[in-house]
Structure 1
């Protein structure tokens, strides 16, 4: 699997043009919101957003800038989960979940020091991930993935509790984004 495969999967899952009245993101196409498209130089009609532009946005904002390729060097499944979470919740949220999960799995700092949950992928976060993988091996990926998905699921439920209009999306979020 490659980042291009992940992008293809996201675009297929997100579908085409949508303008749901309960979605604060407004018009979207292939999962790219109007504001994100504008911030990335696309000023055309969202109904005709070119796939190439959407794919470029996904790669730049949700893979390259957060540094998930560095995570992929250790674990492709973990990097893929972080990418998917970033697409749906933002890269900072995905990295924050990663840092929180690594902190919770370090056995009270016996395995590596706690991380500051600053929502930025840096040398310490990558070092903690390497230490986790050295200790737990590839089998640890499944536990780390469960922790990441648990945090993601809790966030979806919180969003629905805080804003009842989000209940329109909760079932789909849980069905399509967790597991």
Structure 2
């Protein structure tokens, strides 16, 4: 799936304008919070956020800037998962999940060296991903996806446990973001 299709899917899932009282992000439209919209130059009412602005934000902040477009060249399904996680949890969280999973799957550095979990997907993380895939083949991408989803699911549960208001979102997170 290409980035335009992924953005369309996210926007369809996120829906239009929302201002849920339990959502710390405040007013959102197309899944873009008011704070993110403001940081990216949109100063208008969130109800009127143009879809094109939301698409630009998704592409730049959650695909290009964190380097997931480069991940897509090696492992398209992993890149798609990282994009979705970034949209919901932040790009650095998604990058950290990838690094943690790669480190845990390298058989105590027999397959490739650990990468620093700095939450930034750069050349070393991409090299580790390439080495992992070279050793594990196509089945490895499926296993890596499971590891990423396990980390994401655990974080959702922790968010609900640490802030009871997040329980309003837990079912939807698990239903729409995992698996």
TM-score w.r.t. length of structure 1: 0.99
**Is the partner of 1:111 in helix, strand or coil?**
coil
How many angstroms apart in 1 are the aligned matches of 2:145 and 2:96? 14
- Following superposition, the deviation at residue 6 of structure 1 comes to 0.3
How many angstroms apart in 2 are the aligned matches of 1:108 and 1:150? 20
Partner of 1:57: 57
- Following superposition, the deviation at residue 139 of structure 1 comes to 1.2
How many angstroms apart in 2 are the aligned matches of 1:139 and 1:161? 33
Partner of 2:70: 70
How do 1:24-103 and structure 2 match up within 5 A? 24-103=24-103
How many angstroms apart in 2 are the aligned matches of 1:21 and 1:69? 34
Partner of 2:8: 8
How many angstroms apart in 2 are the aligned matches of 1:24 and 1:128? 35
**Is the partner of 1:100 in helix, strand or coil?**
helix
**Is the partner of 1:73 in helix, strand or coil?**
helix
Contiguous gaps of at least 5 residues in structure 1: none
Give the alignment's Cα RMSD to 1 decimal: 0.4
Partner of 1:166: 166
Partner of 2:125: 125
Misfit runs of 4+, over 6 Å: none
How many angstroms apart in 2 are the aligned matches of 1:142 and 1:31? 27
**Is the partner of 2:87 in helix, strand or coil?**
helix
How many angstroms apart in 2 are the aligned matches of 1:138 and 1:85? 22
How many angstroms apart in 2 are the aligned matches of 1:80 and 1:121? 14
How many angstroms apart in 2 are the aligned matches of 1:59 and 1:40? 12
- Following superposition, the deviation at residue 136 of structure 1 comes to 0.7
- Following superposition, the deviation at residue 67 of structure 1 comes to 0.6
How many pairs align? Answer: 179
